[in-house]
Structure 1
Amino acid sequence: MILAIIATAVGVGLGALVGVLAAYRRGWLDELLMRAGDVALAFPQIVLALLFLSIIGPELWLLVLMVGFGHLPRVARVVRGAALSVVERDFVKAAESVGIPRWRIMIGEIVPNISSTLAVEFGLRLTYSIGLVAGLSFLGLGMQPPAADWGLMINENRIALTISPWSVALPVIAIALLTVGTNLVTDGLAKASIGSDKGVTV
């Protein structure tokens, strides 16, 4: 769970940076970033993770980076779409007219107004991260014994599936409940942040 949260934070953070930058700067930089994202999306996330983890080994830092970077292009595309409408608003133009640096405008004016989108994306990507980290651990490329991990539990107990199905079913149920609960929590946070977004734009 901790690895999934860190990987999601890395992916959403970098994706938000790329998406806001592309929406604000437009032009050739926007095209370059989005086309690079299209190339990255052409490769399945789990295939890239398996490739690098099989070459370098089941290192936890590499697992976090691979899962996080897999989210980056998808988050960037969604954030760019949300930020495009914010960039054209009057308060952004006013900030530019008084000479506020661009990086401060992006952080202080644009990002707070897409917080609901970021919250939803974080929850959605976290559910993917949980499943992907568990899957890689099941394949022996994630968490290693004696660490406690649901993917490892499923792998270790699958031989006795016909004799003791609950030893496999319980970790699977736990993963399912965690992903559903995560989505419910982030949906609630997103709805709550919509009001704050409106307050920022007034």
Structure 2
Amino acid sequence: MVSFSAIGLGAVNGRPEPAVVQFVRRILRSRTGTAGVVLFFFVVLAALFGFLIRPHDPTAVVGLPYEPPSGDAWLGTDQLGRDVLSRVLSGGTTLLLSSLLAAFSAYLVGVSIGVFAGYAGGRIDFAVIAVIDILLSVPPLIFIFVLLAGSGPNFTVVTVGIAVVLMPGVVRIARAAAREVVTNEFVEAAVARGESSRFIVLRELLPNLWTPLMADFGIRISYSVGIYAGLAFLGFGRQPPAADWGTMINENRLGFFQNPWAVVASAALIAALTISVNLVGDAYARSLGRSVGDDYV
């Protein structure tokens, strides 16, 4: 039998505690993890629901270009005289959704391929790793630019491109973790009992991969955010006059010294999203080496 701790589950009142619940408990037990969760939800609320409290239409001209903060425009105006605060509160949705969808998609596909390769071994494992090494040799931005060459700026293409760029790294992580677990006695016992490959993968391998995969997932989200922000800066995000945090940095960089908030506000929210995810991932990874009763920063 495999213990609850071995498969990423705890026990509450004699009943197994789901891995997701244990994951959240581990994070919230840390002050840095709690800070990361709070910061993450602040950015998510600003990105998804900020439009509900924006003071102006994000495309409306409310003053002269690069005016400093005032009562009518709390963060001043941008290069066309539009309210920076209103555009910031309207410009994070695409970045957030594209980054999260790309990371989740990369993990869904990457973990499936990696676990399958790690469990199958032999020629299948060799073939999968050969293909992954080829994908890793292609510069990420060049690959995405090739995808965008025929379609132009497109949310779906950008999201798929980021997912494909992230996927090879996920495959390698999942495959390495699966290769380590597949040699354990409980997997061999399942094979000896005549269990199907599907049963072994879903019931024996995947639960034991929760820890390394969750520790890595935050890093992939950070990569995804950085890639999308870079693409938006280069003009492949939402197109003007729509607001987009990455695009806003590019649009207002020349007026930084007239009104730095036109650049700093968007950059700060992108940084906050990345930092919050890293704080959560770091808190979880650090918790793995401590007992349940330990306190740590």
Common fold: TM-score over 0.5: yes
1:106 maps to 2:191: no
- Give the letter for the 2:131 counterpart: A
Map 1:30-109 to 2 at 5 A. Answer: 30-109=125-204
Which residue number corresponds to residue 21 of structure 1?
116
Q: Give the 3-state SS of the residue equivalent to 1:73 in structure 2.
A: helix
Q: CA RMSD in A?
A: 1.8
CA distance in 2, matches of 1:189, 1:144: 37
CA distance in 1, matches of 2:103, 2:289: 22
CA distance in 2, matches of 1:143, 1:105: 44
Which residue number corresponds to residue 61 of structure 2?
none
1:160 maps to 2:251: no
Select between 141-150 and 44-53 the one with higher mean Cα deviation.
Answer: 141-150
Instruction: Tell me which of 239, 246, 252 is aligned to 1:144.
Output: 239
Gaps spanning 5+ residues in structure 2: where? 1-95, 291-297
CA distance in 1, matches of 2:156, 2:172: 25
CA deviations on 1:86-118 (whole Å, 9 max, x unpaired) are 001111112122222212211221111111111
Task: Return closer, same or farther for 1:25/1:194 CA change in 2, 3 Å cut-off.
Answer: farther
Which residue number corresponds to residue 177 of structure 1?
272
The answer as to whether partners of 1:60 and 1:142 remain within 8 angstroms in 2 is yes
Q: Give the 3-state SS of the residue equivalent to 2:150 in structure 1.
A: helix
The answer as to whether partners of 1:116 and 1:194 remain within 8 angstroms in 2 is no
TM-score normalised per structure 2: 0.62
Shift of 1:143: 2.5
- Give the letter for the 1:103 counterpart: R
Shift of 1:183: 1.0
Shift of 1:34: 0.2
Task: Return closer, same or farther for 1:119/1:147 CA change in 2, 3 Å cut-off.
Answer: farther
- Give the letter for the 2:199 counterpart: R
CA distance in 1, matches of 2:286, 2:201: 23
CA distance in 1, matches of 2:196, 2:123: 20
1:12 maps to 2:107: yes
The answer as to whether partners of 2:102 and 2:162 remain within 8 angstroms in 1 is yes
CA distance in 2, matches of 1:99, 1:146: 61
Which residue number corresponds to residue 4 of structure 2?
none
Shift of 1:192: 5.7
Task: Return closer, same or farther for 1:67/1:194 CA change in 2, 3 Å cut-off.
Answer: farther
CA deviations on 1:11-56 (whole Å, 9 max, x unpaired) are 1221111111111000111010001011001111111111111222
Shift of 1:146: 4.7
CA distance in 1, matches of 2:210, 2:242: 35
The answer as to whether partners of 1:22 and 1:80 remain within 8 angstroms in 2 is yes
The share of aligned pairs that are identical, in percent, is 36
Q: Which runs of 4+ in 1 moved over 4 A?
A: 190-195
Q: Higher helix proportion, which one?
A: 1
- Give the letter for the 2:219 counterpart: L
Which residue number corresponds to residue 132 of structure 1?
227
What is the aligned residue count?
A: 195
